[in-house]
Chain A
Amino acid sequence: MGAISGIRARLCALCVAALLAMPGCTAPVEETTLYADLGGEPVITRFVTEVLEISVADPRIAKDFDNINLVWLRDHIVRQFCELTGGPCRYTGRGMYASHKGLHLATANFNFFVEDLQIAMDHAGVPFPTQNRLLKILAPMYHDIVTR
């Protein structure tokens, strides 16, 4: 995480330097982030809210959410997705390993949640290829989240 922030900071410095070096160039070229393609914070909040609703009603994984404050969880996930997709947020929660190890999640639990997330994104109108771009970022978390 630290290394990534460092790289990002260096890239930003580079961008600024490039802009300053270009006379007559006043506005940077509009760069589309995944955050923007997803529909920004309103849409992310919408499908994160819904995936939690679906999951707590999904008999396959409902018990994974026992004793968890869903509003707190929603806010954390929204901020995390926002940051990971290039949005103007900062995720300050714990790492994925630390936050999941006590749950002893199996591969199936992970996948059933992904499935519920896909349904929630469908309902929020996120196009399938855009959904996959988010899943690409989330998929490697499998190795930290699944500890059983």
Chain B
Amino acid sequence: MGLRTVTATAIRWRAAGLAVIVVAIATAAQAQAPAPAPPPAPSPTPASSVDLFDSGKLLVTSGVSQIEGAAGGGLTPWALITGYETRDAIGANGHYTFVHTGSYTLHSAGASLGLFDRVELSYAREIFDTRKVGGKLGLGNGFTFNEDVFGAKLRVAGDAVYDQDTLMPQTAIGLQYKRNAQGAVIHAIGGKSAEGVDFYGTATKLFLDQSVLLNATVRATRANQLGILGFGGDRNSGYSAEFEGSAAYLLSRKTAIGFEYRTKPNNLRFAAENRWLDVFIAYFPTRNVSLTLAAVDLGDIALQRRQRGVYLSVQAGF
């Protein structure tokens, strides 16, 4: 137990250190950038008022709503801010995501608000349907775990799109407060808590000359299967540092394909938890709607092996 606590603490510090390093690099890179252009000369015509809902971001660059509600890929948050607002405006998105594997169905529905391409606030409700597995576990067929996720993200530095002359990515930090409604069951299966907070640092870079977008996220979390099976457990109760990566290739202005990989903790004794991965295609016919289709491999979940299946998500907003 002592060793485990020490290890958990070390991992926690390492995660915090990584986040600090990411931010420090970002800040240093910005400090080294050439001084901004001088302020514009006073003009007789004052700038006309800007549309507060300008929907002025380039197509695709709002990302999609990931499974926990943040702007990102399907499974992982990115440093992009939700909505099609520029730094002068406000944007928003609503999403519904449906994941269907061999044994389970997961619904995620929510909304997100993007403020001045700087701050993102999000909410998602996750409903995890155990279908027939619920009966086998003594919970009853169709037993559902329900979780609320409240997210906040702050863009720290860089611009994924415009900074094509440097390797500097767009960086952001964020947190997700998660509250699971099935506390009694969570304690019965060895979970320590029905609520928890994830902290993450994320970096996104568009390599335009390759038509490639890369993202890396480091997350400090105690969540078991996103928090659907609670937080912390009888194997490990502390935070662990997890890595989440995405790579996307832009096929056209409106279509991207790619894959994602997300490592996860393994806190519960009764059932092992594996990394998640997916291969996706996302289609953005307009700034107001996007559709994502993916094949997911969610590994073992609550004793059910190899949960592979389909992921479908629709996002609407401005």
Chain A complexes with chain B: yes
Q: Which residue of B lies closest to A140 (CB)?
A: B165
User: Given the known A-B contacts A139-B164, A148-B88, are A106 and B40 also in contact in the complex, defined by CB atoms under 8 Å?
Assistant: no
**Is the Cβ of B43 less than 8 Å from the Cβ of A102?**
yes
Type the 1/0 row for B38-71, where 1 means its CB is closer than 8 Å to any CB of A: 0011010101101100111111000000000000
In-complex Cβ contact of B54 among A108, A115, A144, A147 (8 A):
A108
**A-chain residues with CB within 8 Å of residue B21 when the two chains form the complex:** none
Cα–Cα, bound, A132→B251 (Å): 11
Indicate if B253 sits at the interface (CB-CB under 8 A). yes
Question: When chains A and B are docked, how far (Å) is the Cα of A129 from the Cα of B58?
Answer: 16
A101-B40, A111-B56, A137-B164 as given contacts; A128 in contact with B208, CB under 8 Å: no
Are A97 and B50 neighbours in the complex by a CB distance under 8 Å?
no
Chain B at the A interface: mostly helix, strand, loop or mixed?
loop
Residue interface mask A86-127, B partner, CB < 8 A = 1: 000000000001000110101111011011001000000000
The answer to whether A107 and B56 have CB atoms under 8 Å apart is yes
- Chain A residues, CB < 8 A from B188: none
* Cα distance A114–B59 in the bound complex, in angstroms: 11
Docked complex Cα distance between A136 and B247 (Å)? 18
Q: Which residues of B contact A148 (CB under 8 A)?
A: 47, 50, 88
Contact between A142 and B251, CB atoms less than 8 A apart: no
Report which of B57, B58, B162 forms a contact with A140, defined as CB distance below 8 A.
B162
Tell me how far the C-beta of A96 lies from the nearest C-beta in chain B, rounded to whole angstroms.
9
Task: Tell me, rounded to whole Å, the shortest Cβ–Cβ distance linking B161 to chain A.
Answer: 6
Q: A115–B284 Cα gap in the complex (Å)?
A: 14
- The answer to whether A128 and B56 touch across the interface, beta carbons within 8 angstroms, is no
Q: Is the CB of B59 within 8 A of A115?
A: yes
Asked if B250 and A128 sit within 8 Å, CB to CB, the answer is: yes
Query: Which of B56, B164, B208 interacts with A112 by CB under 8 Å?
Result: B56
Shortest C-beta distance, A97 to chain B (Å), equals: 5
Chain B residues with CB under 8 A of A111 = 56-58, 86
- A106 CB contact (under 8 Å) in B37, B88, B161: B88
Q: A residues near B, CB below 8 A? A: 97, 101-102, 104, 106-109, 111-112, 114-115, 118, 128-129, 132-133, 135-137, 139-140, 142-144, 147-148
